[in-house]
Structure formats: C-alpha cells, structure tokens
C-alpha cells in the first residue's frame, strides 16, 4: 500500500437498495434467532419499524463496496491477497432498515508500519437518500510484509 494515500477520500458508491430477503439471509448466516427483528416482521414492527432491521454487522456490505474502489485504485497499490482483518467497528446514528437506499464514502485515515507489516485504517461513512449519516464503519487492515 502506498503510504502517500493517507487522507484520500474515494467517491461515493452507487446507491445500494437494502432488500428484506438480503437482511434475512445475512441474519440467518450470523446466527440470529427466528424471533429476531432481522428475521421476523412481527418482531421488527413490535420494535417500532415498518420492515426488517439489518443486523449490526450488515454495514460491512457497504464498506466492502467502498473498499473495492481502493483495491481497484492503482495509486493505492494494495495487495489484497496479503490482507488480514485487524479491527472492525461500527457506530450507528440509526438502524439500517429494509428499503433504505444507501451510499458509502471511504477515507484512508492512516498507514503505519509495524514489525514488517502495514496497518491501514479506513473510515467509511454510510448515508441515506437524504444524505443523512446512518452509520460509520472503522476498519484496520493488516498487510503482511
């Protein structure tokens, strides 16, 4: 990874329509229960939502879309085959709900050298159709030296 990429912000990704069945599929794959508000419409409605609520880590799908831009960026020079996931965090302004139309925008926050490896910190902001911030995803990737 090119360390001079720090501070670069990539363009917004094309709008991603959050599907009800995609939420359900993701929730089942991450061991949510049948009465989860990510699987049961009744449970989501009881929680005050019109449709299924995405599981907490669903935002990774949006982060991944932004990360593809970095992987395809010759200036970034990121060898993804040597990448290991170090840290991941999410903070939520509101829940992601089926029917949301989301975009994401990634910035490179830091590139550090540590014991022969590179640690790259990314911040991805996720916005809804009204350009309101929905969630932030912070990720540290380790590129093995």
Partner 1 sequence: MEIGQIVFEKKLLLTRDSLVRYAGASGDFNPIHYRDDIAKQVGLPGVLAHGMLTMGAAISPLFDEAGIKLVEYSVRFSKPVPVDADAGAELTVSAEVVGIEDGLAKLAIKAVFDEQTVLAKSFAWVKND
- Residues near partner 1 (CB under 8 A) are 22, 25-33, 35-38, 47-49, 53, 55-57, 60-61, 64, 81, 84-92, 95, 138
**For residues 8 and 43, which CB has a smaller minimum distance to partner 1 in the complex?**
43
Segment (H or E) for 108: strand 101-114
**DSSP-derived 3-state class of residue 121:** strand
Minimum CB separation from partner 1 for residue 46, in Å?
A: 10
What whole-number distance in Å separates Cα of residue 57 and Cα of residue 21?
A: 16
Find the largest Cα–Cα distance for the chain.
51
What whole-number distance in Å separates Cα of residue 122 and Cα of residue 117?
A: 16
Minimum CB separation from partner 1 for residue 4, in Å?
A: 27
**For residues 10 and 139, which CB has a smaller minimum distance to partner 1 in the complex?**
139
**For residues 8 and 90, which CB has a smaller minimum distance to partner 1 in the complex?**
90
């Amino acid at each position: 990874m090119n360390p001079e990429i720090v501070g670069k912000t990539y363009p917004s990704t094309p709008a991603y329509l959050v599907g009800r069945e995609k939420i359900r599929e993701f929730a089942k794959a991450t061991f949510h229960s049948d009465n989860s508000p990510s699987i049961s419409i009744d449970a989501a409605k009881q929680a005050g939502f019109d449709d299924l609520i995405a599981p907490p880590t669903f935002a990774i799908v949006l982060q991944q879309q932004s990360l593809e831009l970095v992987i395809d960026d010759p200036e970034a020079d990121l060898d993804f085959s040597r990448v290991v996931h170090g840290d991941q965090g999410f903070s939520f302004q509101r829940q992601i709900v089926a029917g949301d139309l989301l975009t994401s925008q990634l910035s490179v926050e830091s590139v550090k050298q540590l014991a022969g490896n590179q640690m790259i910190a990314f911040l991805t902001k996720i916005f809804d159709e009204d350009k309101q911030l929905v969630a932030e995803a912070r990720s540290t990737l380790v590129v093995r030296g």
